[in-house]
């Protein structure tokens, strides 16, 4: 369902806002809109607080201008165009100014609708079935009869690759949009990827390999759980353990009384067992260890106080075990 057209922005001062911790889909969707609208409107992009590395690299290579802070008041703009989020919680430091904004708010997103609406005067284009906000931007440009220029097409293709996890969650319509966007971008697929791929640093490679070398391996029914400790890049190392075979990985570090644990889980365990790292492990960790934990089903973390990383990692394993205990085929053993 399309509730607005690009003509709504004609000759207006438009502020495009991405979520805080802006990812590639968000910056690419914002930029596709920016390039398209700039011909007839005054447009700025706001990225509140923080931008992820691939998104930053892409913005720099594509010459996408954005600000990280525009003050606490958006009254110099006629309207806001919110991209890739629909809850004020994701707006970071821009939340207050969005809440107080008196003009019209437009919104494009593919996340689940938040319980609380972002404002009163909102025209929202939300489709949870879209793999990326860039897919929705493509549909908006197409239905508004706006030609897809090289830069817009490049942005749309990049956002789709990133948010579909390199097409893992793609459907046939993703591929037809991708085919058109890539053709109009004038780029090959590998040229597109080079706009946002970040080579791993030396330290990152060592951390991932050390995590594998020091890992403890457990079997939980048909699933493999791995734990490890490294001095840095825990999240990265946990992803690596999942890539090389673990269904669930916990990697942590304790330093000067501070304790951090990152968890990652494979799509297989999320889907077939309905396991949720945030709910079943990380939100429960603070009962034993002072600190706070949370995140998503497949990627979550804990930050707190403590010196005993092994105890924290074993508590993660034990909470995971509790979830699987009583399920068909349950048994537990450590591989040594």
Query: Pattern 22-51, binding to Mn ion, x per CB under 5 A?
Result: ---x--------------------------
Q: How far is the CB of 26 from Mn ion (least distance, A)?
A: 6
CB closer to Mn ion, 25 vs 229? 25
Token pair in block for residue 129: 């079935």
The CB-nearest residue to Mn ion is: 25
- Rank residues 45 and 230 by Cβ distance to Mn ion and give the closer one: 45
Which lies closer to Mn ion via its Cβ, residue 118 or residue 248? 118
Using CB under 5 A as the criterion, what x/- string covers residues 259-298 for binding Mn ion? ----------------------------------------
CA distances to 120, 240, 264 from 297, in Å:
31, 17, 9
Length of the chain: 336
Contact code string over 109-148 relative to Mn ion, x by CB under 5 A: ------------------------x---------------
Nearest to 141 by CA among 129, 128, 161, 155: 155
Task: Look up residue 79 and give its two tokens.
Answer: 């309207």
- Compute the CA torsion angle 142, 146, 147, 149 (nearest 10 deg): -100
Q: Which two tokens stand for residue 201?
A: 């640093």
CA dihedral of residues 231, 236, 240, 243 (deg, nearest 10) = 160
**CB closer to Mn ion out of 84 and 276:** 84
Nearer to Mn ion, 133 or 320 (CB): 133
The interface mask with Mn ion, positions 176-195, x = CB under 5 A, is: --------------------
Q: In the stretch 76-115, what mask flags binding to Mn ion with x, by CB under 5 A? A: --------x-------------------------------
Which span (20-28, 50-58, 115-123, 250-258) binds Mn ion, by CB under 5 A? Answer: 20-28
Estimate the crossing angle of helix 24-37 against helix 133-143, to 10 degrees. 20
- Is residue 247 at the binding interface for Mn ion, with CB under 5 A as the rule? no
Up-side HSE of residue 265: CA atoms within 13 Å toward CB?
Answer: 27
Q: Which is nearer to Mn ion, 25 or 234 (CB)?
A: 25
CA-nearest of 211, 223, 226, 222 to 317 is 226
Which lies closer to Mn ion via its Cβ, residue 129 or residue 256? 129
Contacts of 141-147 spanning 24+ positions with Cβ under 8 A = 141/6, 141/32, 141/36, 143/2, 143/5, 144/5, 144/6, 144/7, 146/6, 146/36
Cα separation, 91 vs 195, in Å, equals 26
CA dist., res. 190 & res. 181, Å (int): 14
Minimum distance from CB of 159 to Mn ion (Å)? Answer: 7
Of 19-27, 40-48, 136-144, 265-273, which segment contacts Mn ion by CB under 5 A? 19-27
Site size toward Mn ion, by CB under 5 A: 4
**Residue among 133 and 185 whose Cβ is closer to Mn ion:** 133
Considering the complex, state which of residue 29 and residue 261 has its C-beta at the smaller distance from Mn ion. Answer: 29
For residue 295, the minimal CB distance to Mn ion (Å) is 17
104 - beta bridge partners?
79
Judged by the rule CB under 5 A, the positions of this chain that interact with Mn ion are: 25, 84, 133, 163
């Amino acid at each position: 369902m399309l509730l607005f057209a690009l003509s709504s922005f004609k000759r207006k001062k438009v502020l495009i806002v991405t979520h805080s911790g802006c990812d590639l889909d968000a910056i690419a969707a914002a930029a596709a809109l920016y390039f398209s609208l700039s011909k007839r409107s005054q447009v700025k992009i706001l990225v509140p607080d923080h931008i992820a590395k691939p998104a930053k690299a892409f913005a720099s290579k594509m010459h996408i201008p954005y600000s990280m802070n525009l003050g606490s008041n958006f009254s110099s703009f006629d309207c806001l165009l919110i991209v890739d989020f629909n809850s004020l919680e994701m707006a970071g430091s821009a939340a207050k100014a969005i809440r107080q904004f008196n003009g019209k708010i437009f919104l494009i997103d593919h996340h689940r609708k938040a319980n609380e609406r972002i404002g009163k005067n909102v025209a929202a284009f939300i489709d949870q079935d879209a793999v990326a906000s860039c897919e929705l931007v493509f549909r908006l440009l197409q239905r508004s009869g706006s030609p897809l220029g090289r830069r817009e097409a490049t942005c749309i293709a990049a956002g789709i690759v990133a948010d579909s996890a390199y097409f893992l969650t793609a459907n046939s319509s993703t591929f037809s949009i991708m085919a058109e966007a890539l053709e109009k971008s004038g780029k090959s697929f590998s040229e597109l990827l080079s706009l946002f791929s970040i080579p791993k640093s030396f330290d990152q490679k060592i951390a991932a390999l050390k995590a594998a070398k020091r890992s403890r391996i457990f079997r939980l029914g048909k699933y493999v759980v791995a734990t490890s400790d490294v001095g840095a890049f825990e999240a990265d190392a946990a992803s690596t353990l999942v890539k090389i075979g673990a269904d669930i990985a916990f990697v942590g570090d304790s330093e000067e009384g501070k304790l951090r644990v990152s968890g990652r889980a494979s799509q297989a365990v999320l889907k077939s067992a309905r396991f949720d790292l945030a709910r079943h492990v990380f939100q429960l960790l603070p009962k034993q260890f002072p600190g706070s934990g949370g995140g998503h089903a497949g990627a979550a973390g804990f930050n707190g106080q403590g010196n005993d990383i092994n105890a924290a990692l074993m508590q993660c394993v034990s909470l995971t075990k509790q979830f699987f205990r009583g399920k068909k085929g349950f048994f537990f053993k450590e591989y040594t």
